[in-house]
Amino acid sequence: MNKHWLVIGCGALGMRWAARLLEQGHQVTLLHRYQTHPTEISVEDSSGIKQSYQPNFATSASLTSKFEQVLICTKAYDALPAFLDIKSLTRKSADIVCLCNGFGAQQELIPHLKEHQSLWAGVTNEGTLKINDSSIRLTGEGDTFIGVLHSPTSRPNPLEDFHCANIECRLLEKLAINAVINPLTAIFGVTNGEILQTPVRNIFDAAVAEIKSCYRDQGFPHHPITKELDLEMLGNRIATVAHMTGLNHSSMLQDIRLKRKTEVDYICGYFAKQEQIECPLQDLLYEAINNPAELESYQRKLLN
Ligand code: KPL
């Protein structure tokens, strides 16, 4: 059934999903921060073929109709402010889907939902690179999962093609993927694929081992969902994502290069802030990303 989606976030992810929803026959309003905005989105696939898509571009101030489907594609730290900004434009039983990186930003939305609204979380391991304000390039295939995090009643998944029964498990897996790939690419200034090669490979292996120990031996997070994660395969899974998105510059590397705020609080910071677990490497990666002027000294520290 065709729906009208409000997509929030004009980064690589927002443009990717606006284009995908239009391709599936849905109507899409893409929320833009500025009055002046592009008129279309150009998506270049891995063979260099470009396709254009025309969502309705709008600012929150210019919108009057209410939405039943909202897709949040912002940075993790912007998810809650962005939702609060458009909350009055959501219907009382709307489906809110949050596709942010990391762990925690999705759950922060729950207390702010209207009584009958449902919250869905999604994880995607696709590589997408923003070229400019109106174009993106697809840099790596990857799977996408959407599952319910909070719902007052049983509801069908608004993105049924990507349905997943246990999204918390997938979120933890994605947290591990981001906690290894993103800081290492950002600290060493390399592509996702390059962290699988020496000398960064040793740190990759140590970071995987540490996260496995947090999830398995240290019982973090205190939740039965970790039991459903195939921890034996976690290292392979992270390496596969790094390989499949090998040419991608991770979102954290791009943020560091453009001197933007990073999502580290919702990634390495999620581990580092848990007092009950020992994760010295995540602590160090967290510290390094928070000190972008000193990355070279952190590179040396990590390689020693
Ligand atoms: O999620 C990503 C990111 O860059 O934030 C991956 C999957 C690592 C792709 O680069």
Handedness of CA 77, 98, 256, 202 (dihedral sign): positive
Testing ligand 1's pocket by substitution, the residue of 181, 240, 289 carrying the most ligand atoms inside 8 A of its CB is 181
Instruction: Give 261's DSSP letter.
Output: P
Secondary structure (DSSP) of 23-72: HTT-EEEEE-SSSS--S-EEEE-TTS-EEEE-PEEE-GGG--S-EEEEEE
Adjacency order of strands within the sheet including 41-44:
50-53, 41-44, 135-140, 127-132
Residue 293 CB partners (closer than 8 Å, separation 6+): none
List the one residue out of 174, 19, 45, 157 whose CA is nearest residue 100: 174
What are the tokens at 117? 């609204």
List the one residue out of 187, 200, 195, 210 whose CA is nearest residue 272: 210
Testing ligand 1's pocket by substitution, the residue of 184, 241, 247, 249 carrying the most ligand atoms inside 8 A of its CB is 241
Testing ligand 1's pocket by substitution, the residue of 101, 177, 178 carrying the most ligand atoms inside 8 A of its CB is 178
**Parallel/antiparallel/unpaired status of strands 67-72 and 4-8:** parallel
Packing angle, helices 167-188 and 234-244, rounded to 10: 60
- Residue 45, class by beta-carbon neighbours within 10 Å (0-12 exposed, 13-18 middle, 19+ buried)? exposed
The whole-angstrom separation of Cα 267 and Cα 175 is 6
The whole-angstrom separation of Cα 4 and Cα 89 is 13
List the one residue out of 67, 70, 53, 185 whose CA is nearest residue 122: 70
Looking at ligand 1, which atom is closest to the CA of residue 192? 10
254 lines ligand 1 (CB under 6 A): no
pLDDT per residue as tens, the chain (304 positions) = 789 999 999 999 999 999 999 999 999 999 988 777 888 999 999 899 999 999 999 998 889 889 999 999 999 999 999 999 999 999 999 999 999 999 999 999 999 999 999 999 999 988 888 999 999 999 888 889 999 999 999 999 999 899 988 898 899 999 999 999 999 999 999 999 999 999 999 999 999 999 999 988 777 766 656 667 888 899 999 999 999 989 889 999 999 999 999 999 999 999 998 888 899 999 999 999 999 999 999 999 999 8
185 lines ligand 1 (CB under 6 A): no
φ, ψ dihedrals at 71, nearest 5°: -120, 115
Note the residue count of the chain.
Answer: 304
ipTM of model? 0.98
For residue 178, report the distance from its CA to the centre of ligand 1, in Å. Answer: 6
